[in-house]
Each structure stands twice: as structure tokens, then as C-alpha cells.
A and B are shown apart, each in its own frame.
Chain A
Amino acid sequence: MLRYTVRRLGQLVIVTLVLSLLLFAWLRALPGGPVSALLGERATERSRAELVEQLGLNQPLYVQYWRFLGRAVTGDFGVSTGVQPGTPALEVFLQRMPATIELSVLALTIAVLVGIPLGYVAGRRQGGWLDNLSITWSLLGVAVPVFFLAFLLKYVFAIELGLLPASGRQEAGTNATHATGFYVLDGLLTREWDAAWNALLHLLLPAAALSTIPFAVIFRITRASVLDVLEEDYVRTARAKGLGAAVIRTRHVLRNAMLPVVTTVGLQTGALLSGAVLTEQVFNIAGIGQALSLGFQRQDYAVLQVVIMATAMVYVLVNLVVDLAYAVIDPRLRTR
């Protein structure tokens, strides 16, 4: 197990290095860049040339890349030019990460808490009204683009009905203490209950929008998996042995049906980020999804590099955790 973990972590290093090289080359092949971003429409030839010189952008690409690597090893990924100008890119990422995690965790929690039980029930009562209803709902979840759903939710619940806030992470001027950057947690830890509540209200609509696709996928996989497992010999055997229905459901059906679901949840965690880009845009949440889209709009190399690389690492790590979680659920894997 340990060796397996180490090998996977080794893969992580290689993935990161290759990605950094590709990203570096690709970003620099795009027209424009930090010099245009910094100088804007008021640039003169002279100021442009001076800036290129000062920032070392006139060096050959491999020299620039080598320098970038050298600095990156020390945790220096350069300074943001467009997303949060003047702030170190890593800091921008770290400041924005909690917002995205908060959003993703809530969205995934909704998806899991609704998707798995519903999938289980739907699978056991195949063809029933709940089954049909849930299938239709999940189909909508996959078919409707996230940003459209996000906008629809916002329009109905925030603008028309005024029940929930329209955008942001917390009401401007809430005067909250931010110790960890996770606003809900901050409010709980500092006992600023109104701040925590306010932050949670801000999360509801975006999380609901973001949860639709993972919900649909988790629901369908659970349902299909339950259907499969119900047909298995060991379930029939268990029944024949005269085991209680509750024991069969939890020990035999649910536990075995969970294996593919866990994989799916892991994969969905990575996919959440792509949904977050759009959701954060619509709800103006200063997370890494918004940093990505602003980074592209404003040609912020430093931020794009950090965000994309860190995201890739998170993705690899989450999948590692999922693989390890397998071992917990499936005893057959433990001895390896």
C-alpha cells in the first residue's frame, strides 16, 4: 500500500512537470501578454521595450522557463498582472481556493446526499413513480447547461423573489472576521453567527446549480449499480440463508453497489471545477474558477500557471484518495 502511494505521488511530480512545460510554452505562444496588460492603450514603444527588458521577456524561452522553474521551486510563481494585479500568483490562488472548495464541497454534499439514497430507492423500486421522476430530473440536470441553470436560479430566487442573495460570498460590509478564508467556517469559529449564516445563504444557489451534474451522474450510477447487485448470486444466497432484509440491504447490496459510486464521486470532484468556472462567473464568487476565466481574459500568465497546475495536482490527489478508499470498502483489495 505504501509503495503504491509513493508510486502514485511520483506520477504526480511527472504530470506536474510536463504540464508546467506545456503551459509555459502555450501561454507564451498567445498574442499579447503581460506587457500589454500592464501598459494598456497608453503604451509607447520605449516603455514597452523597457518593460520587456526589465521583466526578462527578451530572453530565449528556455531560459525563461528555467528561471520560472527555479523560482517555482522556492514557491515563487510570479505576480498577478490581471486578476489581482501586484499580488503574488500563489497568494491569489490560496486566497481564492477556499471559496471554490466551500462551493464544491456543498455542491458535492448535496449531490451525494440526494443522489445516493434516491438512486438506491429508485434501483430497488425500478419502474415506480419515484424512479421515473428521478430519472427525468437527472436527465434535466445533465442536459441543461450549468450557467443557464445558474442564471435561472439567480433570476427566480434572487432577483424576482428576493429570497437569496444574487452574488458574492458575503454581503458587502458584513464586517466579518476571516481567519481561514472558509467564510461559513470562519463565522462558526469566531461565533459571528450572522456572518456564517450570510455566507451559507450566498452559497445555496451556486451550490444548487453546480450540484446538478454530479447529482445526475451519481444518481444514475447508484441506480444502475443497485440493479446489478440485486441480481447477484450472493444476494440470492443471503436471502436463501434467511438473513434479515435490513442486513442484506446494507451489508450486501449497498456496500457492493457503492464501489462504482465512489469512483464516480472522485471523478466528479475534478469535473466540479469546470462547472465552477461558469457558476462563479454568474454568481461573482471570487474563487479559482473566476480566476481562470479572468486570467484568460486579461492574459495573466502567472495566475493561469498556478491555477491550472494546482488544479491538476488536486485532481490527481483526489483520484489517489479514491483509489485508497476502495481498499476500505472492498476487503479483497486490502491484502495487495
Chain B
Amino acid sequence: MGVGSSTGSRPSRSGRAITAAGLAAVLAVSLSACVQSQRQGDGGDTFVFGAAGAPALFDPFYASDGETFRVTRQMMEGLVGFAPGTAEIEPELATDWESSEDGTRWTFHLREGVEFHDGTPFDAEAVCANFERWYHQTGPGQNAALSYYWIETFGGFASDERPSLYSSCEAPEAGTVVLELTRPTSKFPDALGLDPFSIQSPTAMEKYGADEVRARGSSFEYSEYARKHPTGTGPFEFASHDESNQSVVLERNEDYWGRKAGVDRLVFQVIPDESVRKQELLSGGIDGYDYPNPADLASLREQGFDVRVRDPFNILYMGISQRDNPALRDLRVRQALAHAVDRRNLVEANLPAGAEVAELFYPDSVDGHVPDTTKYPHDPERARELLREAGHPNLEIEFWWPTQVTRPYMPDPRGIFNAIAGDLREAGIRVKPVSKPWNGGYISDVNQGRAQVFLLGWTGDYNSPDNFIGTFFGSTNNQFYTEPAPWGGELADRLEAADREPDPKSRERMYADINRDLKSEYLPAVPLAHSPPAIVTSPDVEGLVPSPLTAERFSTVRVEN
């Protein structure tokens, strides 16, 4: 600290001020000389989308969250894709395909003249390089926190004791890929349209160490490829990710093989708070955002915004775990729960417009959906009767619901809980409420079967019964904990058999049978409702096709200025 003398040749006040100003000016000039503007060509149309969360990374193989896929989907493509506005697959990087009689050998004919963003040609070798990369994951790469969709779809890895669906990939010629599977599956070829199975440039992945992911502290650190150099074949290519401004910028791929993108630039601006997203749309800062609060839809429409409601492709259910409460192992008790709930009222009072009462565990656009299943109309009297018959007239249950969360299938967990708890009490059931933060114990406890009765749901990844009921009841010690039930193992086996059935006709019949028994004999949970999530854009935006899978591609979007 300057203790300097206060007498003598002290410069005058104004003198010091001038010196200081001079120094500052010199500093500013010298600094601006060494910081170069890195601006590139400006201008052109920009579509700005308000995202709810930051993308974790840009390598879809390691991702399982919607905010990441929303971005990678614009840059990358799979062998098959989903037709706009539907959950049906259509040719994408493969123009057509056929499978052997037994469903284990799949031949894909590839689109010609396609290049990755880095100029690497897209061919059969590139496709096989991707499959081999997925199958040969090691260490952290085998963890479900990273390769969830591979494990869910293909099972194990090369160096792993779990059986894998994948056997080999061959490239007999540049335009043909032959995939060998270890068994037939209902997931093929639809699952290849999932974002994690997008085909990425082998050259770029090698150059930027795509597989270099490592555990660090309490999480994973991703590779340079995943953070800065994602390279696909899609209509947009990666430009920048500005973490300090929480925005991701993509630019039009001028060499795209198909119809080129309608805007020059696509920007994702991360805005975690839902109400802030809405205000930003109102003030013109963004052109659109996802999952508007159902309560805002009417006023947004009135103000001239385009609110597009997607076809529902999800399920909200009242789950039942047979682990801790023995009464719940009795079918009659579970039937009583089903009769007790007034689902029509729930849909009308607590879910957004367009929601439907669910009879099965997936929407009717998916194969094997049958109308003639056992119904459980709202009937508190019948519920009491069933409980008496079962010897549990004073049934007491723990009813779990999550806080600090909204999901597309569950926009208001508290409201839904209150409605159902009221219904159950009306049927004479004693309800002990248990609430936990979604990420603070709810999910982990529910997944261990600790929640006796609980609220949860699922959004479908693609059009397959297996993606819904196979995930739910294919295991006996998950959230539903069907282990003590005499039919728990049987149901899991039947689901696996249906998944393995190569003939689509008989497979559909098998799923239809399972669906009937799920409602009559098993009733491991009570399906409640399908809710349609909405997406909203400003009136200047044209060409956005809402997808039931919430998998919109923004290349068709144009912005009128």
C-alpha cells in the first residue's frame, strides 16, 4: 500500500487525473490492437428457438436427453428416419432395405452421392465404422448414463458379458450394408431411426477422439469431438456453441443431398425458465419454444402465436409396486384401484386440451393396440366391494408423487395427485401421501420398487410396443416389482417372445394378446391418459411440422422478416 509522503513534490489532483486517463487510453488502444474481431459473413435468415436446457454434448450416441437430440437431429441422420409429422419410418440415408426370412440378416441399400460435413464420403464402410464404434465401447462408454439407447436396443458390448443383439456389419460394396443380428427383433429397423444411431463421420470421430470420454469427479467429461466437432450428413452443420451466452448456432449445409434448409442459421438459445421463454417470445427475442405451459395456450393463440398441438405419443400411468405392500399382490385390490380413479374427470380437469383417457399402456397409433380389453369405469362402489372380497376393506396405501418437475405426460403432478388421491379416498382407501423431488429421491426410489402406488409415465421413442410395455414389464424387479406375482416372469417372457417374432402379423397378434391380459389378468399398473405436448412459434414462422415423437426437424422452417 502506498504510504507515500503527503508533502513535497506531490502532483496536483488534475495532473494525476490526466495521467490516469492517458494510461487508460493507451491501455485500451493497445488491447484493441491485439483482440481481432472474428466475425464472418453476417446476414441471412435466422430461426431462434428457445430451448429448456443446455445440450449436454453433440454426439448423440452418448446422449439420452431431448434437449441434446433436438440439436443433433438437425445435423445428423440415420439409415432410416421418421416421416414428418408421424412415428412411421421412411428411408433416410438408406433408400431401401430387406431382411432375411428369419429376421437376423438385414441388407440396407445406401443413398448415393452423400457426403459428411467434413467432405468424407458417406458409404457402407462409414456405416460399419459407426456400428463397430458402438459395439466396441469400453469403460465409461458402456455405462447407461452414456450409451443408454445402445443398451436398451442392442443389449451388451463386445467386451461385456451381456448378450448383444448386434453380431456384425459388412460392406460388400460401397452402396450396400449387411447387418447380422443374433436374433430377430421387433425393434428393427425402426430403432435405427433413433437419434443415438445417427451415422457420424468416421474421419472426424477419429480426428477429435470421439470415444475419449472419462469419469471425472461425480460425472463424465466428454470428448473434443462431442463438444466442438460433431459431423453428420444433415441439412445443418455445427457452427458454434457459446457456453457463456448459452446458445448453439448451426448453419445451413449448402451441399446437403436433399432439400436444403429454409433458413441460413438456426440458433438454440437456452432459457431454463418456462415463463421467461414465453416472455422472450412475446418480446420477439425468440421465434419459438417447446412445452408451453398448458395454462398459457389460449392466451398465446389470442395474441396471434401459432400453437401446434402434437398427436399424443406418451402415457401417464398410476404405477403399482408389489414389493412392500402385500395387499397390492391381490388382483382384486389392483382392480379396485382402477375402478376408484375417475380418469375422465382427470383428463378434463387436470390435463391440457386434446388429452385422452388411456385404456392401454401406449397410444392407438402403435401396433397391437386393441379396443376390446377389460374396462375399468369409474365406480367407487365396485371398488369397495372388490376390497371387501379381497379382505382389505380398510386398505391403506402410500401414494407417491414427484415435486419440482413437469413432464410432457404430467404437466402438473400436484394437481394430478390431488385428483386421484381424492378419488381413492372416496372409495374408502386410506391414502398416505409421499412426495419427493423428482431428482431428489423420487426417481431413484420408484425405480427400486419402493413406491407402493405412484405417478409416472413415458414418452415413446419410436413406433413399437416393445418401447412401451417391453420397457415397463420386461423386467420383474423395476418400478412395478412384479417379482412376487406368479405371472411376473411369464409376462416378461411373453414380451421377449413377441419382440423376437420375425413375422409382423403374428407379432402384432402376440402384442394384442398381451395387451388384453395386461388389462384383465395382470393389471400391474393403471393406464391413465395420453397428453399432447404443444410447441409454439411466432406468426412469422412457416413450415414447422410438429412431430408426435417431439422430434421436429427445423430444415423445413422459413422465417418471414
Contacts and interface: CB of A to CB of B under 8 A. Distances in A.
A188 B216 contact: no
Contacts of B439: 32, 36-37, 297-299
- Residue among A167, A183, A189 facing the most chain B CB atoms (10 A cut-off): A167
Contact of B279 (A30, A158, A171): A158
Interface string B1-37: 1010010000000000000000000001001100111
A71 B219 CA distance: 14
Interface string B40-63: 101000101000001011000000
Contacts of B286: 172
Interface residues of A, number: 90
Contacts of A43: 144, 443-444, 447
B285 A171 contact: yes
A80 B216 CA distance: 10
A86 B219 contact: yes
B249 interface: yes
Interface stretch (A49-57, A223-231, A252-260, A261-269): A49-57
B1 A324 contact: yes
15 contacts: A36-B443, A41-B447, A55-B215, A57-B218, A76-B217, A77-B217, A85-B56, A85-B219, A87-B243, A166-B279, A167-B279, A189-B32, A284-B271, A286-B246, A331-B6
Interface stretch (A94-102, A240-248, A308-316): A94-102
Given A32-B440, A84-B54, A96 B144 contact: no
Contacts, number: 227
A84 B218 CA distance: 14
Interface in B406-442: 436-437, 439-441
A7 interface: no
Contacts of A34: 218-219
Interface in B238-255: 242-247, 249
B447 A294 contact: no
B404 interface: yes
A301 B65 CA distance: 20
Contact of B218 (A45, A78, A91, A328): A78
Interface of A: 1, 30-48, 50-51, 54-55, 57, 68, 71, 76-81, 83-89, 91-92, 95-96, 98-99, 154-155, 158-159, 162, 165-173, 175-179, 181, 183, 186, 188-192, 281-284, 286, 290, 294, 297-299, 301-302, 324, 327-328, 331, 334
B284 interface: yes
Contact of B65 (A31, A40, A68): A40
B217 A78 contact: yes
Contacts of A50: 143-144
A168 B245 contact: yes
A183 B442 CA distance: 40
B284 A327 contact: no
Contacts of A95: 243-244
B478 A166 contact: no
Contacts of B220: 38, 79, 86
B544 interface: no
Contacts of B279: 154-155, 158-159, 166-167
Given A35-B444, A42-B64, 11 more contacts: A32-B443, A36-B441, A39-B443, A44-B475, A46-B144, A50-B144, A78-B219, A79-B218, A154-B279, A158-B279, A169-B244
Contacts of A54: 140, 143, 215
Contact of B244 (A35, A37, A80, A98): A98
A166 B283 contact: yes
A86 B144 CA distance: 15
Contacts of B48: 172-173
A179 B35 contact: yes
Given A43-B144, A54-B143, A172-B269, A31 B221 contact: no
Interface string B430-462: 000000110111011001100000001010000
Interface residues of B, number: 74
Interface of B: 1, 3, 6, 28, 31-32, 35-40, 42, 46, 48, 54, 56-57, 64-65, 140, 143-145, 148, 151-152, 215-222, 226-227, 242-247, 249, 265, 267, 269-273, 276, 279-280, 282-286, 404, 436-437, 439-441, 443-444, 447-448, 456, 458, 475, 477-478
A39 B272 contact: no
Contacts of B475: 44
A86 B243 contact: no
A85 B270 CA distance: 13
A178 B144 contact: no
A185 to B, nearest CB: 9
Given A43-B447, A54-B143, A190-B37, A31 B440 contact: yes
A79 B216 contact: yes
A45 B477 contact: yes
A286 B244 CA distance: 6
B444 A32 contact: yes
